[in-house]
């Protein structure tokens, strides 16, 4: 072999070795991974008894249906009131209708809740129902 071809061979081999070592080294360098949360322990995870979620949702739906009728009756009563009373009660009734729609949305969420999100959604729905009940009571008192 000639001196030039030996040099080319060694140079080529050296370049290949450098690339190979660089790739091996890069495989060992990993970017930092975000910390993952450990899955909840099996004993600590919420257990929903069969039918609990459905029963709660059905009862909430019945209550919302009754409130929808009551809101419609109150709207009729407010529309028949004099101008001053109508203006005051109309604002309260509008807020009550917004609360009603929010509660309906929470009920839809609760109906499709997973076991892990059920308790949180159930609590939010219960608070929303309480707010709606107190708004209804306040409006009924004001319209009397």
Instruction: Establish if 71 belongs to a structural domain.
Output: yes
Instruction: Establish if 124 belongs to a structural domain.
Output: yes
Instruction: Establish if 108 belongs to a structural domain.
Output: yes
Per-residue confidence in pLDDT tens, the chain, 144 aa: 566 777 777 677 766 765 665 665 555 555 555 555 555 554 444 555 657 888 888 899 999 999 999 888 888 888 888 888 888 888 888 888 999 999 999 888 888 888 888 888 889 889 999 998 998 888 888 777
Alpha-carbon distance 75 to 91, whole Å?
Answer: 11
Instruction: Establish if 102 belongs to a structural domain.
Output: yes
Burial class (CB in 10 A: 0-12, 13-18, 19+), 74: buried
* Whether the predicted model's global pTM rises above the 0.75 cut: no
**Residue 28 · residue 93 · CB < 8 Å:** no
Instruction: Establish if 93 belongs to a structural domain.
Output: yes
Vertex 127, ends 125 and 132: CA angle to 5°?
A: 95
Instruction: Establish if 96 belongs to a structural domain.
Output: yes
Instruction: Establish if 123 belongs to a structural domain.
Output: yes
Q: How many domains does the chain have?
A: 1
Domain residues for 68? 52-143
Instruction: Establish if 21 belongs to a structural domain.
Output: no
């Amino acid at each position: 072999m000639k001196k030039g071809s030996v040099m080319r061979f060694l140079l080529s081999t050296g370049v290949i070795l450098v690339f190979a070592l660089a790739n091996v080294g890069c495989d060992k360098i990993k970017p930092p991974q975000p910390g993952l949360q450990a899955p909840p322990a099996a004993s600590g995870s919420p257990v929903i008894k069969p039918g609990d979620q459905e029963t709660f949702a059905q009862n909430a739906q019945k209550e919302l249906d009754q409130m929808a009728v009551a809101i419609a009756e109150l709207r009729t009563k407010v529309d028949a009131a004099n101008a001053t009373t109508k203006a005051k009660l109309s604002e309260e009734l509008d807020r009550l209708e917004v609360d009603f729609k929010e509660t309906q949305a929470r009920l839809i969420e609760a109906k499709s809740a997973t076991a892990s999100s059920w308790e949180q959604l159930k609590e939010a729905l219960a608070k929303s129902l309480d707010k709606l009940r107190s708004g209804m009571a306040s409006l009924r008192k004001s319209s009397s």
